[in-house]
Amino acid sequence: MTIPYAEVIGDPIAHSKSPLIHNFWLQKLGLAGEYRRTHVPADELSHYLASRREDVAWRGCNVTIPHKISVMQHLDTIDAAEVGAVNCIIPGASGLRGLNTDVLGLAEALSGCDAGGPVVLLGAGGAARAAVVWIKSKGDANLRVVARDRRKAEDLLAEFGCEGEIYDYLSAADAMDEAAGILNATPMGMNGFAPMPEDVLDGLSRLRAGGFVLDMVYAPIETPLLRRATDLGFSAIDGLAMLIGQAGSAFRLFFGETPPEDGDTELRVILTS
Among 84, 239, 248, 259, binds ligand NAP (CB under 6 A): 239
Distances (CA, A) of 220 to 97, 123, 175, 236, 271: 33, 19, 25, 14, 11
Side chain identity at residue 210, one-letter code: G
127 interacts with ligand NAP by CB under 6 A: yes
Q: Does 194 engage in binding with ligand NAP (CB under 6 A)?
A: yes
185 part of the interface to ligand NAP, by CB under 6 A? yes
State the minimum distance, in angstroms, from the CB of residue 221 to ligand NAP: 11
Answer for the pair 254, 118: CB distance below 8 angstroms, yes or no: no
The total of other beta-carbon atoms located within 10 Å of residue 166's CB is: 19
Choose which of 113, 145, 216, 229 interacts with ligand NAP (CB under 6 A).
216
Interface segment toward ligand NAP; rule CB under 6 A; list 19-27, 29-37, 241-249, 259-267 = 241-249
Residue 152 binds ligand NAP (CB under 6 A) = yes
Question: In the range 4-43, which residues lie near ligand NAP by CB under 6 A?
Answer: none
Q: Is-contact 186 174, C-beta < 8 A? A: no
Report the site for ligand NAP in 47-86 (rule: CB under 6 A): none
Give yes or no for a contact between 34 and 3, defined as CB atoms under 8 angstroms apart: yes
DSSP 164-185: EEEE-GGGHHHHTTT-SEEEE-
Largest CA distance in the chain: 60
- Candidates 148, 208, 252, 268; binder of ligand NAP (CB under 6 A) is 148
Report if residue 164 touches ligand NAP, rule: CB under 6 A. Answer: no
Radius of gyration of the chain, Cα coordinates, nearest whole angstrom: 19
The CB-of-189 to ligand NAP minimum distance in angstroms stands at: 8
Catalytic annotation, pick one of 68, 136, 138, 152: 68
**Which of residues 7, 19, 88, 102 is near ligand NAP by CB under 6 A?**
102
For residue 84, the surrounding DSSP H or E stretch is none
Per the CB < 8 A criterion, the answer to whether 124 and 147 are in contact is yes
Taking CB under 6 A as the rule, does residue 117 contact ligand NAP? Answer: no
Give the Cα separation of 236 and 226 in Å (integer).
Answer: 6
Of the candidate residues 66, 91, 117, 125, the single one contacting ligand NAP (CB under 6 A):
125
DSSP tag of 139: S
Counting contacts by CB under 6 A, is residue 267 touching ligand NAP?
no
**224 scored as a contact of ligand NAP (CB under 6 A):** no
Active site residue 68: yes
167 burial type by CB count under 10 A (0-12 exposed, 13-18 middle, 19+ buried): buried
Residues with a known catalytic role: 68
The residues that touch ligand NAP, with contacts defined as CB under 6 A, are 102, 105, 123-128, 147-149, 152, 185-188, 190, 194, 216-218, 239, 242-243, 246
